[in-house]
Amino acid sequence: MHIHILGICGTFMGSLAQLAKAAGHRVSGSDANVYPPMSTQLENAGIHLVEGFDPGQLEPAPDLVVVGNALSRGNPCVEHLLNRGLPYTSGPQWLGDFYLRDKWVLAVAGTHGKTTTTSMLAWVLDHAGMAPGFLVGGVPANFGVSARLGDTPFFVVEADEYDTAFFDKRSKFVHYHPRTLILNNLEFDHADIFPDLAAIQTQFHHLVRTVPSEGLILAPGNDSNIRQVLERGCWTPVQRLGQVNGQDGNDWRAELQASDGSRFGVIFDGQTAGQVRWQQNGLHNVANGLAAIAAAHHVGVPVALACEALNRFAGVKRRMELLDSIDGVQIYDDFAHHPTAIATTLDGLRKKVGGDRILAVIEPRSNTMKLGIHKAQLAAATAAADRVIWFQPPDINWSLTEVARQGPVPATVASTMTELMQMALAAAEDCDHILIMSNGGFQGFHLRLLEALKEHSDA
C-alpha cells in the first residue's frame, strides 16, 4: 500500500511514517518545513519527502492519505483530496485501527513529561527483554529513533491531548485504547483549541472511559485536576503516585538520596523495592521515572530490574540534551514551552550545578504562548537562572519587554536572530551553562551558537 502523509515532519507524524514503512508500506510525505532531526530520520528510513503542499504530489493518487492535525481546510492538498474523493484518515486513527487493535498498549498522557516518561517506559521494557514497539514524540537516545514496530504484543505510546485532525476534533489519545495508562499531570495548555481547563479535563475523561476494567491507571495523588477527572467516573483500578519524599498513603513513592534527583529509592506498598542511580536530574524526572517503573510493574517487570534499566537511561534529544562544552561553557537544548516546564527544567539544572552561572535563552513559541495565556507566569518561571535572554518571535502580538522587566533575574529581549546571537555571545563570557529552550527549530540557533562559540574559542 502507498501511504502519503501530509504534515510528515511533526514528531508524531514522522514517527508514524517510520512505523508504516517498517510494516512494509511504501511511504512518502510532505510538510511546510523540513528540518532535522525528523527529516534525517525519515530520509534514513527511505521515505521520500516533498517540501510544500502542491497537489501534484497526490498524482498518481496514493492508496491512502494520512492527514496531520496541522493541516486545515484551504490547504491545497486537503482541498485536492476532498475534491477527488481520495481515501484519507488521521494519524491517530490509522495507528489505532491498523496497528494497536491487538496490542497491550501502555500510554503516557499529561501536560508535562510525556515524551521523557514514554521513552523511559519503552527502555525499561526493552531492558527487561520484552522488545516493545513504541511511538515517542522525540528521539530516545537509547534507541536512536522515535518509533519502532516491536516484536511482542506490548506497545508504548505518547498519548497527546491535542486534537486529531481538521475532521476529528477529539484528542489524539482517544484512538489508542490503552490497557495501562499513566496520567502524569494536568494543567491548562493548548489554548488555541481548548477554551479552558474543563474542556481538557473532558477529553481526559474520554480517555479514562477507554481503559478496560482489567487494566490500570497510574495517577499522581496530589494533582487536583486529575482527581476531578477521575471523580467524573472511573471503571479501572487506580494506583497513586506519591510526591517525592512525601509521607502519604500513596501506592508508589520516591525517596530522594541526592537533592538533584540523581539518586532515589522506590517505595511500593510501603516497602523499599529498588534504587535508581542515573544520569538524569530534577524532581520532575524522578516523578517521570517513578511512573515508568510503576507502569512496567503492571506488565510484569520487577521493580529492581526497572531501576537497573533507568540507571542506563540515556535521555531524550531536546530534553536537557547536552550539545557540547566549549571553553568550560556547557550548552543544552530543551523543549520546555510552558512556565511549569521552564521552571522545573531550570530548577533541575540548578540543583545539578549548584552555584555555577546559568544563562537561559527562551523562545516562547507554542500556540498557547503566542496567545499570551501564560505570560503572567513566565517571569517567575526563570528564578533558578542567573540571566535570561528572551527571543521575541515576529508572530507574537504582545511584548516580552514587561516579562523581562518583572523577572527575578536580569533579563533582556532580542527581536532578531542577529541581536540574539550578539547577546548570547556577550553573555557566554560570564556563564558556565547556556540552556536554550524552544519547542521548535529556533531557526537553527543552537548550531549557529555552537559554531560561533567554537570560532571565538579558536581565535
Q: What is the pLDDT of residues 166-216, one digit of tens each?
A: 999 999 999 999 999 999 999 988 778 899 999 999 999 999 999 999 999
Q: Is 132 helix (H, G, I), strand (E, B) or coil?
A: coil
Q: What is the C-alpha to C-alpha distance for residues 305 and 381, in angstroms, rounded to an integer?
A: 36
Delimiting residues of CATH 3.90.190.20 domain(s) in the chain? 321-458
Burial class (CB within 10 angstroms; exposed 0-12, middle 13-18, buried 19+) of 402: middle
Tell me if 135 sits within 8 A of 94, measured CB to CB: no
Fold of 2-91: Rossmann fold (3.40.50)
Mean pLDDT of 99-115: 94
Domain range 321-458, CATH architecture? Alpha-Beta Complex (3.90)
For 397-407, the pLDDT digits (tens) are 888 888 899 88
Mean pLDDT of 251-257: 94
C-alpha grid cell for residue 123? 527502555
Delimiting residues of CATH 3.40.1190.10 domain(s) in the chain? 102-311
Assign 246 a pLDDT band (cuts: 50, 70, 90). Answer: low
Mean pLDDT of 65-80: 97
Fold of 102-311: UDP-N-acetylmuramoyl-L-alanine:D-glutamate ligase (3.40.1190)
Q: Quote the pTM value.
A: 0.89
Q: Given phi > 0 = left and psi -120 to 50 = alpha, else beta, which region is 444?
A: left
C-alpha grid cell for residue 349? 539544572
Going by the DSSP 8-state scheme, the letter that residue 442 receives in this structure is G
Closest C-alpha among 115, 11, 38, 172 to residue 341: 115
Q: What is the C-alpha to C-alpha distance for residues 298 and 294, in angstroms, rounded to an integer?
A: 7
Q: DSSP string spanning 39-108?
A: HHHHHHTT-EEEES--GGGG-SPPSEEEE-TT--TT-HHHHHHHHHT--EEEHHHHHIIIIITTSEEEEE
Delimiting residues of CATH 3.40.50.720 domain(s) in the chain? 2-91
